[in-house]
A and B are shown apart, each in its own frame.
Chain A
Amino acid sequence: MAIDVSTINSAEDHPIIRWIWRGIIALAAMTVMVIYDERLDIYEIIIVNLTAVSIAFLGQNWAAFRLHSIAVTILSMIAIRQYSDSLTLADDNFLLNYILASPSAFMWMNILFIMATATYFLGLFFRSNLTEKMSTSLTWSAITIGMVGLIVRWKESYLIGADVGHIPVSNLYEVFILFAVITALIYLFYERRYQIHSLGGFVLLVISAAVIFQIWYTFERNAHEIQPLVPALQSYWMKIHVPANFIGYGTFAMASMIGVAYLLISWLEINNPKSHLVKAMPSLVLMDELMYKVIALGFAFFTVATVLGALWAAEAWGGYWSWDPKETWALIVWLNYAAWLHMRMTKSWSGITMAWWAVIGLFITLFAFLGVNMFLSGLHSYGTL
């Protein structure tokens, strides 16, 4: 029986490239540790090393990611250099004011994400290779400038005051950007591996929604201002708990959008099997499997994030589990996907039902992410609307 694996790209890069990459990252991690020697406590050193390991791992066979990391590093370094010691410099420095200062960088990210979404759909309808390549590049650019914005914002917070400085994952505005960046990165990972350009528009739709919300939030609520951290958030735990959570949210969002595509295509296959879209999109089987893979990844990271959250809560609030609304909703999300996975693994459910379930999962996730902050009160009240 013939096996069609043409859609999987698991090619490995040349060992030399891989070793050079690992070397560079190790060096970078070491430099960071030397420069910030006095600032970093033991936990943060562990975090730096874990980050380095993940970057080394992601980049070893993924040229685009390597390029992205290098671009982020160079651009952030330029911005930080330009800032030197004063925040007010941004007002008359062209580069900072229009491109690299965090509010500008995020605006560029927003624009690029929306353009990328449009281009993905154009590529889907015209089935043009060039457009597909362009949409991928646009997404990479959006992630890159978004990531630069986050790093620069980190620096900016320290320029406001040494005691104000903190990693920009501490309020709703900042995590929205994190969400967009992480979701797009996860998507690109799968895009490269399974050659699924035609799904890009669908996944980026969720990111665009986040971007539009974030624009509204910026202008309507002045949310982009850097606020000092409340005492409960001043902890190294935040640096791992929040990103781990957003890997979970990002993958669940992506799974739901694959679900939408799945439902659309399975509807079209019955009603208009000759439709252009049916041919352009990945097979239902592949989408079904992707949905599973993505949810599995999200479930694993969401589990890690929840456990980290419990460890942190034990330290900050005096109990590892206090049934606070945010915690409880995290549990609800987790139980939901545990049930989803069981249905698939043990009852062999698949297809339309699971796609619908994945779509519904997005709403549950969304409530845990946003709804809790908007409608419920609790210890996690770091970002209200």
Chain B
Amino acid sequence: MFMPDTNSSKNSRYTFGRRVSRFFGSMDLAITSLLILAVASIVGTVLQQNQPYADYLIKFGPFWFEIFEAAGLYDVYSSLWFLSILTLLVISTSICVIRHTPSMIREMWALRTNLQEKSLQVMQNNSSWTINAHENQVVTTLMAKLVKQGFRVKNKVKRDATLISAMRGGLNRLGYILTHLAIVIICIGGLLDSNLPMKWAEWQGQIKIEVRDLPISQVPNESYLPVGKQAFQGNINISEGRYSEFAFLSMRDGYLIQSLPFRIEVKDFRIEHYDTGEPKSFETDIIIYDVNLSRPLATTISVNHPLIYGGYAIYQSSFSDGGSKLFINSWPLDIRAGHNVVPIETQVSKTIPFRWGKRQFQLEITEFRPFNINADPIAEDPGRLRNFGPSIGFKIRSETGEALEYLNYMLPVERSGREFYLSGVRSSPAEEFGYLYLPVDKEGELTGFNKFLNQIRNVKLVTDIAGKMMTETLATINSKEVDLQRSLRQTLTMLVAMFEQGGFTMVSKFIETSLPKAESETLGPAYLAMLREMLGRIYFSIPNNKDRIVDKEQLIFLQDAVDAIGSLPRYGSPVFLLLTDYEHIEASGLQVAHTPGKYIVYLGCASLITGIFLLFYLPQRRIWTIVKTQPQGVTVLVAGVSNRNSHDSHSFFKQVIYELQKFDGTLP
């Protein structure tokens, strides 16, 4: 090994500084820190980094949350302890480079000429032979041959012999320097681009992380960063037709606002899709306004094709709804909501108050999708995909703050040959949606269903129908008891009312609890049958449904409508919101990065790669030849060493020596 480790007995005479440098530059420390860094890096891959703090709190509970926060586990790679390990590695490598560079440079050039015959004889690759020629002639020829094989040569005439020193692959030593210097360079570049300076400023109290959700104009001054040289990576969502001059830098559980030296306007955001519905491309047309520009710069960016402008890189990173305008019809399902359709105009991400009866609600639109490509439940092949059209997601929040979440489709969906409006409901994101199917009438609307619902709620009509039904039924059994008639009529009206409020579940429960056990078994089914009969009569009392011959389609519609009404109590919302029209406005999620250290890092990478290939694939090889005139002729002793690949170098030296031996003294 080349490392001339200085005699350790001299250690005590070293100054303190020398000893510190020896410690940090020691190989053991270097290898240890390489491995510690590797192990430390694992931590941040196991725990997802830089998530909202609320998520961590839920995951770990308040106790561990604080401990992990103190340990910097939510942002391991800029935590103090991680950076310390990295710094240790950089210091160690720097000292290593500083210590070794002088000797490496010497090794790169110096051809050692102080070797004795004895030292050549103990080298692994040696050989000797005798030639009948003049010593000088042998020396010149051998030197020429070595030069031809890529060696640098030098000869030295000694007392009784000539020593030829030859070397090739000296750049291998440069490889060492490049490789290790690269580590230092890359880390410095990385440091320039890290958020360390920002953390420093925060620690100094110059800036303050904002944790509240505020409009930009209300964010206090100490959370603003002016345009400057500092590195940052920030995000902004800009709706189509809007612009921004700021980027949000997320820091721990909050953010900072970074001013940009230009204004970015988003003209249009587009997603293209493959036939399978998966996204094919995300593109944004943007315009940059800058006082330095004679004309605004209009361009299109997409994933993998950022705009680099004035040292800032603008990337397509995400997208969201930019407040699409929605036109919704609110169909009443519940007496609180009245009888008529109410049109509503709102926007995605907007919350509007709602009043039903005496109660106040909030309607929060959470999402809008212009189309939904999902597996088709009615296709034979489960893998077949179908576009289910636009949908809206929203929450209806009561005064107490509880909210149910809904997902409504704009277009009717086919199921068993009939069409339904579909609405999913759930009480927490952890649940699956349960679906309400509202049957669509012949005209393709909800009017038929709505009419039926209103009819059921019309107490006078129901009472009339019940009375009529009683008369008819009792006529068949010839009973004229007025009391029985009245009580039966009341029961029928009540059953209908009960059904309207609580579906079949409520009716069944009533039968179970209010009737004596003995009677409930016989009377129960009779009650249910009567209820169904009532519902049928109510349905056919609707003018249009009445005087035709009852067809199968109508019966099916009736059945579907009864099913739907039966499941309304579980639906929770007093209205059904049907999207009628929309104006899709998207927001493009842009990432703006300013990374002045980038080119330093790239320089380091280039140096690293060059260095590594030099180290591995340009072995340094030295050959010494001693040419000596002796009585039997001129003897040649050749020996070679390499700093790498003993097997390969054996064959290399064998080849070289073979070439040298070709010279037998005769001139070419």
A residues adjacent to B (C-beta < 8 A): 1, 3-5, 7-8, 10, 161, 163-164, 194, 227-228, 230-232, 234-235, 286, 289, 293, 296-297, 299-300, 303-304, 307, 310-311, 314-321, 323, 325, 328-329, 331-332, 335-336, 338-339, 342-343, 346-348, 372, 376-378
Contacts and interface: CB of A to CB of B under 8 A. Distances in A.
Contacts of B609: 300, 303-304, 307
B613 A300 contact: yes
Contacts of A331: 38, 41
Contact of B49 (A164, A321, A323): A323
A319 B233 contact: yes
B612 A303 contact: yes
A4 B303 CA distance: 57
B302 interface: yes
B598 interface: yes
A237 B598 CA distance: 18
Nearest to B77: A323
Nearest to A314: B598
A5 B645 CA distance: 12
Given A1-B126, A297-B616, A317-B315, A346 B3 contact: yes
A376 B48 CA distance: 8
Contacts of B233: 318-319
Nearest to B597: A320
A127 to B, nearest CB: 23
Interface of B: 1, 3, 27, 30-31, 34-35, 37-38, 41-42, 44-46, 48-49, 76-77, 124-126, 190, 233, 274-276, 278-282, 302-306, 313, 315, 317, 591, 593, 595, 598, 601-602, 605, 608-609, 612-613, 616-617, 645-648, 650-651, 653-654
A339 B39 CA distance: 13
A201 to B, nearest CB: 22
Contacts of A348: 1
B645 A289 contact: yes
Contacts of B44: 323, 328
B651 A307 contact: no
20 contacts: A1-B126, A5-B650, A5-B651, A5-B654, A10-B648, A161-B274, A228-B274, A296-B616, A300-B616, A303-B609, A315-B306, A316-B304, A319-B593, A319-B595, A320-B598, A325-B45, A335-B34, A335-B35, A339-B34, A347-B27
B600 to A, nearest CB: 11
A323 B86 CA distance: 14
A336 B313 contact: no
Contacts of A336: 35, 38
Contacts of A315: 304-306
A321 B593 CA distance: 12
Interface core residue of B302, B591, B646, B648 (most chain A CB under 10 Å): B648
Contacts of A323: 44, 49, 76-77
Contact of A346 (B27, B190, B601, B613): B27
A161 B275 contact: yes
A231 B302 CA distance: 9
7 nearest A-B pairs in the assembled complex, by CB-CB distance: A318-B315, A231-B303, A5-B651, A325-B45, A335-B38, A318-B591, A307-B605
A282 B494 CA distance: 94
Nearest to B317: A318
B73 to A, nearest CB: 13
A335 B124 CA distance: 33
Contacts of A228: 274, 276, 278, 280
A339 B45 contact: no
B364 to A, nearest CB: 28
A231 B304 contact: yes
B650 A3 contact: yes
